[in-house]
Amino acid sequence: MHSRALQNRPSGSSFGSRISVLLLAMFATMATVYVAGRLWQDAENRVYLIQELDKRTGQDQSAISVDDTLKLIACREQQKKLSDLEMDLAAATQEGFVPKHSSKIGGTHAKKKTLAVIGIITTFGRKKNRDAIRKAWMPTGAALEKLADEKGIIVRFVIGRSANPGDSLDREIDNENRQTKDFIILDGQVEATEEHPKKMKSFFIHAVENWDAEFYAKVNDDVYVNIDALGAMLTTHLDKPRLYMGCMKSGEVFSEP
């Protein structure tokens, strides 16, 4: 009895062969479905191309090849992408985006977002101080423009006009500016001690009208500024609106004029 039971039990090799056959059948079925799907997709593409050809021939135009039709489809896709980009650019412009390399428009410079505009308050007879600053921390020539382009920091000397317009004081500043090109000359502001508060206000108005900056700062012409450290410090405060930094001996900061 024991030997008969062993003979009637299916062997392990026979059971394994059945599993293999079943797996092969499953793979064959999946491959058939995949090939059929691809053939169906190709058929749909051919129908679409035929319809495009029919449209062209139906408009009394000469018949075109399949390659020409594919080029036509590609051109339409590129046109759609271009339209989408134009819409994105228009939306960005409305939100205040200005291209980095802006050109003159209507005789004035288009505004470009910068990190800071620094005005160095100076006056007549202090050329030695200005030269010392140029040697110490303020770039000159092409380096001054590079500082603005790469780090977004504008640095200019700020000065008004003589009480006697066109005199030797004004001519000296004009000559110096022609050589250095690093001045903001406030033509409507008289350079005098008692006019100092108005000069500060005129500078900030001029800076805001000419540069769209995150910060506007002023220093005297006897102050050393570490440009790199200043730029790094200012970037940590970009998320703080209407921020005032500096020393105030008295008075208040008004949020509205």
pLDDT tens by residue, 101-113: 444 444 444 445 7
125 shares a domain with 221: yes
Determine how many CB atoms are found less than 10 A away from the CB of residue 191: 20
Sign of CA dihedral 147, 149, 151, 156: positive
Q: How far apart are CA 174 and CA 129, in angstroms?
A: 17
> Whole-model pTM?
0.55
Q: How far apart are CA 202 and CA 150, in angstroms?
A: 27
CA-CA-CA-CA dihedral for 240, 242, 248, 250, to nearest 10: -130
Q: How far apart are CA 217 and CA 214, in angstroms?
A: 10
pLDDT tens by residue, 227-241: 999 999 999 999 888
104 in any annotated domain: no
Number of domains in the chain: 3
161 in any annotated domain: yes
Structure tokens at 150: 């790469």
Q: What is the pLDDT of residue 66?
A: 59
pLDDT tens by residue, 208-232: 999 999 999 999 999 999 999 999 9
* Whole-Å CA distances, 216 to 158, 176, 232: 13, 24, 15
195 shares a domain with 90: no
Whose CA is closest to 124, among 34, 221, 35?
221
Residue in the structure block whose two tokens are 């200019």: 156
Q: What is the pLDDT of residue 243?
A: 83
Residue 90: which domain range? 65-96
Q: How far apart are CA 225 and CA 217, in angstroms?
A: 12
120 shares a domain with 184: yes
151 shares a domain with 86: no
45 shares a domain with 152: no
Q: How far apart are CA 175 and CA 169, in angstroms?
A: 10
pLDDT tens by residue, 159-186: 999 999 999 999 999 999 999 999 999 9
Mean pLDDT, the chain, rounded, equals 77
pLDDT tens by residue, 43-68: 566 666 666 666 655 554 455 565 66
